[in-house]
Structure 1
Amino acid sequence: MRMTVAAVAAAGLAATSAACAGDEGDVGGEGGGDAVINMQIGEVRSLIPGGSGESEGYRIIKNVYDGLVYYDIESGEPQNLVAEEISSPDNQTWTIKIKDGLTFHNGEPVNADAFIRSWDRTAYAPNVLPLNYFFGTFEGYTEMNPDPLPEDQWADPEVPEYAPVDVTHLSGVTAVDDLTIEVKLTAPFIGFPTMLGYEAFYPVAEACLADTAACEKKPIGNGPFMFEEEYDIESGGSAVTWADYPGEKKPSIGGVNWHVYLEGDDCWADFQTGDIDICSPSAADYESAMNDVDLSERLVQEPDPSILMLSFPLYDEKFQSVDLRRAISMGIDREGVANVVGPERFQPLDEYVPASILGGGTNVCGEYCTYDPEAAQALLETAGGWPEGEKLKIWVNDAADNLDIFRAIGDSITESLGIEYELVPMEWTEFLTAREGHQLDGPFRYGWGPDYNLNENYLEPIFGGGADTNDLGYENADYTAKIAEAGAAATLDEAVALYAEAEAILAEDMPSVPVFGQQYNYFYTERLDNVQVHPIYAGPRGDCELRDVVITE
């Protein structure tokens, strides 16, 4: 997932929207096909596939672009969308056949080259795109991704630079013909088709790459919504339903207005006046919203596959002891924190993959995710204690909810372990950059929502790739080997079980503390009907899966 307002997003992260689905027969009055839905959105990093990697950009991208597969609203399983067929004789060499006759909004064909040019752009190291790592298992990736130059040679201290890289194309990706792509991976990966509905694998128009600055403001997609005017990162923008959209899931509304709410702001006041159609109340408004009888009829409350963790900067010497990390985890009263910020918003988490995801619900964290102050104090003593007089810095992006949640977490740690803390808020993109660049000197917020329905998606993207690659600086040879073994499994069931074994290794090392599994608490205006949650396109800001939304006015 992109990281949810988190890589997302990133990163999400994820990813990440609720679906407002209904019967087109419900549309009436002046609403229906001409009506527009008003949605809130945060700061967007990019609107070109491969460049977002966080929840906010992805919320727009997934409506403006169509991917090879789409995730079913009932099961979360991938179904072919742009792809006609995806097949492999050995789970290592994959053939992707694209449906004939599809185009971008500007009339360019959606063909093999449209995907290959997009993937090459994201995989090319000097472009420094956040979803580059999704191509790490493609043949030819290494040649496009040498080690970066020393940091003292970077023009921007936060952006890696590379010596000239002559290889600009993934050698493992070939256009067999105009509508057929062959992909060769460096090792078998049975879950490969499951990934292909995510942003990293979307196509990009040739005209977009000819002027990326213009395309960032006015994307040229192939999905059901298109921009007629430029998107403004500070105020938002509007997309209309593409009249010539050839897909089966053509929207029944006229368009969507995205209104920007920067970190620290929320949509609740505007929701109450009807200016925003869907909103999840922050901690400050949660109790009054839940007790509002009129609103209770327009509440969606279901388990959310997003998770919330407190992650450790393992590149910092202070956090090398697993006993210290376990002590902090056991010192968090998860139920007490949930009661502070809204007990129906979060559920204590003792695993890295939630139960709603294929292979999740393992409860692998066990005793180390159970509140036990005495055991926590004993572990802290075994770890050598905490430096006297030094505060534990807890880094978060500065959304109001994050401040409330992590202040409660910090208070619990102080009460249990006697460690004073300092909450350090940062603006969203600054936080992402610092986290990705290993610039944080204390535990930090990490949120994650699914990019696709497989437990691997909560394991490899967050904790894989080696200490220099992931945000935590985590590395364990056994974990890496288990991930590789799972990817090479002969069946999906075998792969899921092996990924669960990798999750158990994580639980022993505890590079991150699982804190909460989240829960949807979305309220919607009287304009909408039959609102339901999508198991994959789901996220913290109450976005609608706009292909299905129905407006009744």
Structure 2
Amino acid sequence: MALTAAVLLATSLGLAACSSDDSADSSIVTTGGGEPQNPLVPTNTNENMGGRVVDRLFAGLKYYDSKGVAHDELADKIETNDRKNYKITIKPDWKFSDGTPVKAKSFVDAWNYGALGTNAQLQSYVFTPIKGFKEVSAEKPTAQTMSGLKVVDDRTFTVELESPSIDFETSLGYAPFYPLPEAAFKDIKAFGENPIGNGPYKFASNGAWQHNVQIDLVPNPEYKGGRPAKNKGLRFVMYQSFDTAYQDLLAGNLDTLDTIPDSALTSYEKDLGDRAITKPTAQNQKIGIQQNVPHFAGEEGLLRRKAISMAINREQICKNIFNGSRVPSKDFTASTLPGFNGNLPGSEVLKYNPEEAKKLWAQADAISPWSGRFEIAYNSDGGHQAWIEATANSIKNTLGIEAIATAYPTFKNIRDLVNARTIGKAFRYGWQGDYPTMLQFLTSNYYSYSDTNNVDYKSPEFDKLLDDALAAPTLEESYKIVAKAQSLMLKDMSDIPMFEYIANAGRSDKVKKAELAWSGLFDFENIEK
């Protein structure tokens, strides 16, 4: 995601260097976090910092283990003969943390709320495959509920899709598909400030979310699923910088940190010894440019995006800035995902080629001469300054234009501007997998009607290819169609892929077990002190 939808990496505001254990029980796991962009409603949480909390508070029909394998959670049975019509039976006797029962209606009501256009939920695109989504998702809906959802009884509901989907069942552990209690719909904003979930954790108290400081979770005694908490609770501590968080990790004031700062990439393995963690994960980083930025619309914009991509020396940046802990992108997803193809037709636009970059830039100038400067926005609280500055310098030195890195204080600042389409410049963003398929990366970020399509890429041909990939009879056939779709994206240069992650993380000497999951986040439930 959420990099997320993310959409990727840390957000934070105000906590300076301090011991995050000062007021926490020593048995509680303290972990790096940041201020969520929005109240914690699953269908409206599409960024990393909110997502890591939401996934602890709620449980869906399925969950993903640390390797990315999907397991039934609330689902007792998911039955289909055609991958278009589903009968879903949930397990009995599940409760939300307020003691109210989880029913089939809890899922159907939550999904209909998330899809309804007037509710403006950022994750509404996930309901696109369900019959009746178009009628409810418009600015002026002609229906209030999706016709493809039917409650049969307290434990059973049916789902009818518009067409068969090879991804639908796997997606059912993704946050927008979580159930909601009836209390949520009385005041959804207030609910998001103090959520009532059904997951392995719950809010510690009404004051659990201290904005810009921390969020405290404790184990939920009502949870009956396959990922029970093996610790006494989690405290998500919001830092102003990764350097400060890393110093707290070394000092034993922070138990886990999932992003080692650039300044420590050459030393963290020596600093932490067997407590250093390195793992390839399903995360990527990109540069986005919205269509309303001057010089980046139409044919001129296409030429300039390709020129900028080929003006960036990704190999050098990954080596010099990240000490090899990032690798240059070869597509728009991640190489750890099933079906990845590292040799896509058209991928030469992702390789450093100064002469071709200058040629394309000149062709764009023939359409409309370049004016102004090229700015790349980044959030100061996310550890991005060094690579954004190196990227801007590579563009400047290759194309001979003024290119600069432009800092914003927080990730939330940037996300709000990107979502409002008012950022007015290029911006760094990324994605951290929510469920382990390439289609999850592509449908969320590039479907024409996705609310997390940050660059407003709109291509009916691409949409059709994604539809065909979802409807494919086998995974192998789906992978082939996904490759065609990504080749089209390279031709259109929808945005500028930069690199994917070999995650660097660490645990303190107070923690005996902490592993990174497939997505790059910690396997929080299984952290043991």
1:373 has 2:354 as partner: yes
Q: 1:393 is matched with which residue: 375, 380, 391?
A: 375
Which whole-Å CA distance do the structure 1 matches of 2:222 and 2:196 have between them? 14
1:60 has 2:53 as partner: yes
8 Å contact kept, 1:327–1:377: yes
1:469–1:69 distance in 2 versus 1, CA, 3 Å: closer
Q: What letter is aligned with 2:351?
A: T
Q: Identity across aligned pairs (percent)?
A: 26
2:77 maps to which residue?
85
Q: Secondary structure at the match of 1:301?
A: strand
Which whole-Å CA distance do the structure 1 matches of 2:142 and 2:305 have between them? 43
1:265–1:133 distance in 2 versus 1, CA, 3 Å: farther
Which whole-Å CA distance do the structure 1 matches of 2:120 and 2:229 have between them? 34
2:6 maps to which residue?
10
1:281 has 2:285 as partner: no
Which whole-Å CA distance do the structure 2 matches of 1:467 and 1:210 have between them? 27
1:469–1:110 distance in 2 versus 1, CA, 3 Å: closer
1:420 maps to which residue?
402
2:211 maps to which residue?
233
Q: 2:389 is matched with which residue: 397, 404, 407?
A: 407
Q: Secondary structure at the match of 1:384?
A: helix
Q: 2:284 is matched with which residue: 292, 307, 310?
A: 307
Q: What letter is aligned with 1:242?
A: N
- Counterparts in 2 of 1:132-143, with a 5 A limit? 132-143=124-135
Which whole-Å CA distance do the structure 1 matches of 2:526 and 2:148 have between them? 36
The Cα offsets for residues 15-36 of structure 1, whole Å up to 9 and x where unpaired, read as 9xxxxxxxxxxxxxxxxx9821
1:359 maps to which residue?
339
Q: Secondary structure at the match of 2:386?
A: helix
The Cα offsets for residues 363-388 of structure 1, whole Å up to 9 and x where unpaired, read as 32532111121221122222226845
1:383 has 2:361 as partner: no
Q: What letter is aligned with 1:492?
A: L
Q: Secondary structure at the match of 2:131?
A: coil
Q: 2:150 is matched with which residue: 149, 174, 181?
A: 174
Displacement of 1:332 after TM fit? 0.4
Which whole-Å CA distance do the structure 1 matches of 2:10 and 2:163 have between them? 25
1:439 has 2:422 as partner: yes
1:69 has 2:62 as partner: yes
8 Å contact kept, 1:302–1:533: yes
1:465–1:394 distance in 2 versus 1, CA, 3 Å: same
Which whole-Å CA distance do the structure 1 matches of 2:44 and 2:458 have between them? 25
The Cα offsets for residues 128-185 of structure 1, whole Å up to 9 and x where unpaired, read as 11111111222222222224xxxxxxxxxxxxxxx5x573222211111211111112
8 Å contact kept, 1:67–1:82: yes
Which whole-Å CA distance do the structure 2 matches of 1:251 and 1:226 have between them? 11
1:141–1:378 distance in 2 versus 1, CA, 3 Å: same
1:514 maps to which residue?
497
Displacement of 1:400 after TM fit? 4.7
Displacement of 1:294 after TM fit? 4.2
How many matched pairs? 506
Which whole-Å CA distance do the structure 2 matches of 1:399 and 1:432 have between them? 13
2:233 maps to which residue?
255
1:343 has 2:320 as partner: no
8 Å contact kept, 1:265–1:399: no
Displacement of 1:403 after TM fit? 1.9
1:470 maps to which residue?
453
Which whole-Å CA distance do the structure 2 matches of 1:202 and 1:486 have between them? 25
Q: What letter is aligned with 1:112?
A: A
8 Å contact kept, 1:438–1:473: no
The Cα offsets for residues 14-70 of structure 1, whole Å up to 9 and x where unpaired, read as 99xxxxxxxxxxxxxxxxx98210012111122121121111111011111111111
Q: 1:242 is matched with which residue: 212, 220, 241?
A: 220
Displacement of 1:192 after TM fit? 0.3
Which whole-Å CA distance do the structure 2 matches of 1:425 and 1:502 have between them? 33
Which whole-Å CA distance do the structure 1 matches of 2:27 and 2:382 have between them? 31
Q: Secondary structure at the match of 1:521?
A: strand
The Cα offsets for residues 307-360 of structure 1, whole Å up to 9 and x where unpaired, read as 011122234451233332211111101122123322232111121121111222
1:65–1:334 distance in 2 versus 1, CA, 3 Å: same
The Cα offsets for residues 446-477 of structure 1, whole Å up to 9 and x where unpaired, read as 20111111111121211112599832121222
Q: What letter is aligned with 1:135?
A: F
CA RMSD of aligned residues (A): 2.4
1:491–1:392 distance in 2 versus 1, CA, 3 Å: same
8 Å contact kept, 1:264–1:398: no
The Cα offsets for residues 247-267 of structure 1, whole Å up to 9 and x where unpaired, read as 233222111112122478751
Q: What letter is aligned with 1:310?
A: I
1:499 maps to which residue?
482
8 Å contact kept, 2:466–2:481: yes
- Counterparts in 2 of 1:29-178, with a 5 A limit? 35-44=27-36, 45-74=38-67, 76-147=68-139, 165=141, 167-178=143-154
Unmatched 5+ stretches in structure 1: 16-32, 148-162
Unmatched 5+ stretches in structure 2: 12-24
The 10-residue stretch of structure 1 (35-44 or 137-146) with the greater mean CA deviation from structure 2: 137-146
1:325 maps to which residue?
305
1:316–1:177 distance in 2 versus 1, CA, 3 Å: same
8 Å contact kept, 1:12–1:53: no
Which whole-Å CA distance do the structure 2 matches of 1:178 and 1:13 have between them? 39
8 Å contact kept, 1:14–1:54: no
2:187 maps to which residue?
211
Q: Secondary structure at the match of 2:44?
A: coil
Q: Secondary structure at the match of 1:305?
A: strand
Q: What letter is aligned with 2:448?
A: G
1:363–1:446 distance in 2 versus 1, CA, 3 Å: farther
Higher RCO (C-alpha 8 Å, min separation 6)? 1
8 Å contact kept, 1:352–1:503: yes
Q: 2:466 is matched with which residue: 471, 483, 493?
A: 483
8 Å contact kept, 1:138–1:170: yes
The 10-residue stretch of structure 1 (466-475 or 252-261) with the greater mean CA deviation from structure 2: 466-475
8 Å contact kept, 2:513–2:526: no
1:156 maps to which residue?
none
Which whole-Å CA distance do the structure 2 matches of 1:264 and 1:523 have between them? 12
Q: What letter is aligned with 1:356?
A: T
8 Å contact kept, 1:240–1:255: yes
Q: What letter is aligned with 1:42?
A: G
1:527 maps to which residue?
510
